[in-house]
Amino acid sequence: MTDRSFPPATGRVPPGAIGHNRGVVKRNYAFMPPEGVLISRLPHWASTVVRILAGPVLGAGFAQYVLEIAPGGGTPAPFGEPDIQHFYYVLSGEIAFAIEGGESRTLGPGGFAYLPPGTRFTLRNDTGSRADVLALRKRYEPAPGLAVPESILSHRDAVPMTNHTGMEGRGFQFLLPYGDMRFDFEMNLMWFKPGVCFPAVETHVMEHGLYMLEGQGLYFLDQDWHEIWERDFIWMGGFCPQQFYPTGHGDACYLLYKNVNRDVA
């Protein structure tokens, strides 16, 4: 029997897999299924497989990663970078997160942390099984007269579900305080009931890093439709035409990075 699982248990390449893949990299967007994103290691992440999803080399103004942290792994010492903000969202497993000088908190799936520039922290996996964490780094753009935001450690269950669109079947969880001008980016959970798409193709100046968390659908990017499933990643550059159309029987949800609240010139 031909093995069609991925990666193939037999070690053989399944039919149709050579040279064919859903991954696309264009000038203004990239679509990345997880199987093609190879591993990196970084000195400040011990016992951690780092899968780099986006960065300046792609054209993105931010960097995004999946961290696969083995038991006992994580930051070997407190880590932080001047001028750079960090955001972490637990996909699976459990981590111990502490801001330097503060108490350690356990974050499970849906737990998240926002760190303003220069904040040193530790993120460790003290459990016996792997923890997967979505990570994002972005250089902070100060705004005249506005202070830098405080750190946030929270969980998606503590964030209200809203819907400003008036369109039935949509839901938004703004993980960072919505409309707070100190923040220069948003991280939003976008929920869709089956068959509910946004009403128009959007074309806007903001960039996106999109990580698919639940469900499936079709994503329109520039001029093309792409099938999207859990664990797929999309980078959308500024002014990339975009629209989502869910196709599954259950809810679809993605976590969306968006740069906001700053002028463009």
Q: What's the min distance (Å) between Cβ of 248 and ligand UGY? A: 16
Encoded one letter per residue, x for contact with ligand UGY by CB under 6 A and - for no contact, window 198-237 reads x---x-----x-----------------------------
Question: Which among ligand UGY, Mn ion, none contacts residue 170 (Cβ within 5 to 8 A by kind)?
Answer: none
Encoded one letter per residue, x for contact with Mn ion by CB under 5 A and - for no contact, window 171-210 reads -------------------------------x--------
Q: Which residue is nearest to Mn ion (CB)?
A: 202
CB closer to ligand UGY, 33 vs 246: 246
Q: What's the min distance (Å) between Cβ of 252 and Mn ion? A: 15
Contact residue for ligand UGY among 255, 256, 257, 259 (CB under 6 A): 256
Per-residue CA distances from 49 to 32, 131, 159, 223, 232 (Å): 17, 11, 29, 34, 17
- Total of chain residues touching ligand UGY, rule CB under 6 A: 8
Binding flag, residue 152, ligand UGY (CB under 6 A): no
Query: How far is it, in rounded angstroms, from Cα 224 to Cα 231?
Result: 20
CB closer to ligand UGY, 121 vs 191: 191
Binding flag, residue 86, ligand UGY (CB under 6 A): no
Binding flag, residue 251, ligand UGY (CB under 6 A): no
Q: What's the min distance (Å) between Cβ of 190 and ligand UGY? A: 5
Binding flag, residue 260, ligand UGY (CB under 6 A): no
Task: List residues binding ligand UGY (CB under 6 A).
Answer: 190, 198, 202, 208, 242, 244, 256, 258
